[in-house]
Chains A and B, each alone.
Chain A
Amino acid sequence: MLNTIFTIAQNTFRETMRDRILLAALAVVLIIIAFTLFIASISIEQDVRMIVDFGTSAIYILQIFVAIFIGSMLMYKEVEQKTFFLILPKPIRRYEIILGKALGLTATTFTVTLLSTLALFAILLTKGATLFVVPILLSVFLSTLEAMILILISIVFSGFTSPILSAIYTIVFFLAGHAGESLRPLIMFPQSTVIEVVARGIYYLLPNLEKFNIRNDIVFGDIPNATSIIFSLLYALFYASLLFFVASVTFKKKEF
């Protein structure tokens, strides 16, 4: 079983790494990272902050782009190119395909993240700002976990809708996942019990993606404590497991 998953993951990784859209997105992000030097030059003594902020955000945008857009196309491409029909008759379970696909795309996300992070480090090195290595690594690690959740959300949606709609739904989840803070006043000071219950339900059921955002803290050299990181890691793993389960059920029932 592990061999099958690994083979699918490997193929997905190879296939997505050859994707021209991905390579173009990576090139754009590398240009943005280089451009941070210019932004830094007009920021009045805030150069390192600007490089770290814009650099990590550019990497984050790349991860989200891979998760949402390439993730939504993942299953669709297989069906469109008829390669899915070659796999289906073989003794491979559908959940193995989903897991392999998700892991493959996560590996792609990880690779492009690594490349762009190295570029960011090179830019920071020109400013002599080596203190940010560990905080940045931790930040991109946490945002990779967020990307993993979004990959699975886009796979879940691609099970029953078109790639465009799947991407739109995933974007909605992404935005809602970062709007948890906006729901807090509705929970704390409810106008009615119904509103409170609904707000509380949305707050707890939707993925809390702000948990993986430490970009605001790392510019001050702050790193969240180990408990918080472990909690975020476990949250990501359990949420990913839930999405994987939902995706498996969806694809199991789907007729090709």
Chain B
Amino acid sequence: MKLREMRPVYVAGIGLHPYRPLSGVPYVRLGITAVRAALDDAGLAWPDVQGAYTGATRLGMAVSRPMLRHLGATGIPMTQVENASASGSSAFRLACMEVAAGVSDVVLAMGVDKPGPVRRAESLTGLPSLAGDRIVPFTKYALLADEYMARYGASPADVAAVAVKNHRNGARNPFAHRRKERTPAEVLGDRPIAGHLTRLQCCPVGEGAAAVIVVSGAAVARLGLDPARCVRVTASAQRSEELYGPKSFDAELTRETTAAALADAGVAPADVDVVELHDAFSIEELQYVEAMGLCGEGEAAGRLGAGEFDIGGRNAVSPSGGLLAMGHPVGPTGVGQVAEVTRQLRGEAGDRQQPGARTGIAHMVGVGAVCIVHVLEGPAR
């Protein structure tokens, strides 16, 4: 069943703790800062919340209650969600499902994380590979960049232009990990990591927290929330990798998941005003805007250069700064995307505002691979 055919679901409140490098501050303080901000934004009190989902990846077992008890021990169901980079997106999806199904009227979806040791289950399968531990995410995306450049004649500068745009957006975002504009020469001349990818084309993985309050239409009326600040979630799609032959599985997975989400929402790619996507590495944005149907195959670099994906362009892509500049603390990232899209669709994004934004999507890929896409629709303004 499509989300749109179930009970209407809205984002009523958003809150963030700034993303930043690892500090000595315990995760609890990061998390409750974001939740209190989201409650204040919605005009709700903690006892109004009937359930909580927390995306986290490196904090260990049972993250939620040691944090959320400081808001008051109300006894609500609390669930930890781990889905690699898409953990926060999964927490949000589960909150949406719980509200849409009528189980609850007000549910918290949040993410909180801090850098720490991580072990990927894929390394425990007992199956060998030809490259062992040498292939890590930035290696894989450097390979994809090489393949993309060879196929479409794109240059390293074309790929680096993604980072230039997203650093420019992040510089205007008070919650961003990286808040400095960068020139093309700075991005291209930064420390090389793999292939043509430099450090500034790879996302910073630090700490942070993000929270959103998901509510039913009934709750909007019952709790006296401001409908003009409630953003409807019109689709939630999640898929996992199939067999795509030699094609980029991230792009193919993005293609089919985004198509499913947009179809469920009844929206054409051309109607999307704001996109927050998984730009952990610069090359991903070029591949994903094509896979999403925002432009044709091989056209992304040219359209980026023409300003079509800038704030004020045809589709604002990663107005938050994306993973490249806002950052990728992992657990919170997908929830932070929803917060940014909500802010944009309310018209409250200040100097990052995409003019007239009505429809937005939030897209994450997680190793495995999984992909999650949500479509949000702003209130009439």
**Are A and B subunits of one complex?**
no
Q: Which residues of B contact A (CB under 8 A)?
A: none
